[in-house]
């Protein structure tokens, strides 16, 4: 195969691979996963690597003993379509788990969880 064909084949393969892995991935959270905070947050923020659809996102929020905490509906942060904001009620000291599911604009669903502790 000549150099031009090899280069084209390599570029096509690279482009296809990049497209295949272009799903919304959690980049960071507030509070951070695994952190202990002294002050309970008023909201949990989930920052993704690409824009997400708030209407196609859900969050299950649980406290110690897997007790469900009634959190608000996820919305996009003002001016930031890559960040979901989930209002939470006043949290007592304890361990919390945020199980999230979202859909990127590419139509692919992703899910994961974040854990943190309030002192």
Instruction: Answer whether residue 2 shows pLDDT above 80.
Output: no
Q: What rounded mean pLDDT belongs to the chain?
A: 88
What is the value of pTM for the model shown?
A: 0.81
**Sorting pLDDT into bands at 50, 70 and 90, what band is 105?**
confident
Instruction: For residue range 65-83, list pLDDT tens digits in order.
Output: 999 999 999 999 999 999 9
In this structure, what is the dihedral angle of CA atoms 32, 114, 74, 43, given to the nearest 10 degrees?
Answer: -40
- Host H or E run for residue 114: strand 109-118
Instruction: Show the domains of the chain with their CATH numbers.
Output: 23-118 (2.60.40.1220)
- Residue 47's H or E segment, with its range, is strand 43-48
- Which secondary structure element, helix H or strand E, spans residue 62, and what is its range? strand 58-62
């Amino acid at each position: 195969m000549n150099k031009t064909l090899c280069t084209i084949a390599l570029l096509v393969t690279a482009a296809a691979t990049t497209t295949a892995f272009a799903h919304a991935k959690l980049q960071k959270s507030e509070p951070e996963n695994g952190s202990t905070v002294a002050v309970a947050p008023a909201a949990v923020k989930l920052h993704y690597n690409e824009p997400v659809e708030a209407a196609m996102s859900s969050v299950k929020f649980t406290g110690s003993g897997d007790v469900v905490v009634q959190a608000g509906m996820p919305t996009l942060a003002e001016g930031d379509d890559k960040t979901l904001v989930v209002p939470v009620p006043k949290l007592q000291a304890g361990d919390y788990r945020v199980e999230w599911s979202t859909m990127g604009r590419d139509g692919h669903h992703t899910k994961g969880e974040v854990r943190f502790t309030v002192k």
